[in-house]
Amino acid sequence: MLALLLISMVTLAFNIQTAKASGTVIIMADGSVDPPTAPIQRDGDVYSFTDNIYDSIVVQRDNIVVDGAGFAVQGAGSGIGIDLSMRSNVTIKNMEIKAFDIGLYLWFTTNNSSITANKITNTLYGISLSCSFSTNISENDITNNWCGIDISWSYGNKFYHNNFVDNHVQVSSYGSTNTWDDGYPSGGNYWSDYTGIDVKNGPGQNLPGSDGIGDTPYIINTQNKDRYPFTKPWTPPSPPPVTAAVDIDPDTLNLMSTGQWITVYIQLPEEYNAADIDATTIRLNETISPILDPKYSFVTNPSEYLVDHSNDGILERMVKFERAAVESWIYYTQGISYGDVALTITGNLIDETFFEGTDIIFVNYPGDANHDGTIDMVDLSLVSAHWYPGPPTGPLGYDVNADFNRDGMINMLEVAIISAYWGQTVP
């Protein structure tokens, strides 16, 4: 039976590789692409799609990367999408493969080949491995195929972070033993027909608390199981945000002031350009949008919103926020009327790179030394008691609550501030 199987596979591989007349695209052993008009651009050992391909691809060269760049390999319901027969160290990534008998065919494929970040759908067999070894198959969406993965006489392959969704048969494995997860906590695959629960965590899934991984394995057969199946579809982790240096002006916010703007300067690391910040994505504490009305020149004129505010030779992106909106968020949403407040600025560059940065400002109601909401004799008494124009101190010594402008002194300026706001109450 094994001999017949191998003979049939050789025959199938030969028939496919001689199907050039049908429009098949071939990456030749010498590195060329046939036909040369195929929408594939070569850069050394990397072959990148420049458009969809509406036929099969046969790879005859080892040690290469075939990058779909988001394009598709689409058939008419028969044949093989990509044939990797007898290949070594080939990566297939970032493409959609659909409408074939077999989406990806691996026969005697060996030595750390990689199938990653592809969408394989509407085939008889999404991926077929026969006598193939040491291949990583990860981060693929394998959906709506009759059989998601068909494996025969193949060992040492690793499958993880794939989504197996609504395939009539998720995996068919014959005479093969392979690895179906990446250990804990990295996890295995998502299986749409998995019925386990998730109330435990840990390598043995025996500790209290869910972790997004099922408490029992997904069983393919007695030789193959996913020890750590996901209970929700796997998604690639978001890259860490770029850390921006943020300077907010004013750094002391008088909640009784009637000023118009809060100004923010955003400086990115040197390898990024502040001009690439998409201002429409900027948010203050994920809530408040900047002023983007084109009637203001600081919105439309780059010479006004690209400035070197810190005088270090690096341009910053300047944006303004409505002061009333920021004060309302601080006082009404956060319930803060006095003290330090962290304000975080987030946004994206035009290539969708995410950035964030935080600055801390001081917030107060000047004149309200005891924070009771009214500026009156009690506040004047506290200023007198903590009088501190410099040593020697008053009876009770320096108290930052009575230092309305936070200049390290409590003197006639504090008395003047109380006089200016005398009798007012916190709204």
Question: Residue 354 maps to which CATH number?
Answer: 2.60.40
For the entire predicted model, the pTM comes to 0.65
Task: Round to whole Å and give the CA distance between 74 and 54.
Answer: 5
271-280, 287-296, 384-393: range with lowest mean pLDDT: 384-393
Quote the pLDDT of residue 11. 40
- Whole-number pLDDT of residue 302: 96
Residues 6 or more apart from 204 whose CB is under 8 A from it? none
| Domain interval for residue 65 | 2-179
* φ and ψ of 100, to 5 deg: -135, 165
Query: Does the pLDDT at position 185 exceed 50?
Result: yes
Say what the pLDDT of residue 224 is. Answer: 98
Burial pattern 301-318, b for ≥16 Cβ within 10 A else e, equals eeeebebebeeeebbbbb
49 and 96 co-located in one domain = yes
Whether residue 145 is found in the same domain as residue 257: no
* Residue 172 and residue 94 share a domain: yes
Q: Identify the pLDDT of residue 252.
A: 87
Domain co-membership, 12 together with 157: yes
| Residue 214 belongs to a domain | no
Are residue 62 and residue 130 in the same domain, yes or no?
Answer: yes
Arithmetic mean of pLDDT, 184-211: 96
Using the predicted structure, report yes or no on whether residue 8 has a pLDDT greater than 60: no
pLDDT of residue 291: 97
pLDDT at 18 over 60: no
In terms of domains, do 34 and 128 share one? Answer: yes
Specify the pLDDT at position 392. Answer: 64
Cα angle value 417/420/426 (rounded, 5°): 85
Q: How far is it, in rounded angstroms, from Cα 136 to Cα 343?
A: 44
Is residue 227 in a domain?
no
Q: Give me the pLDDT at residue 158, please.
A: 98
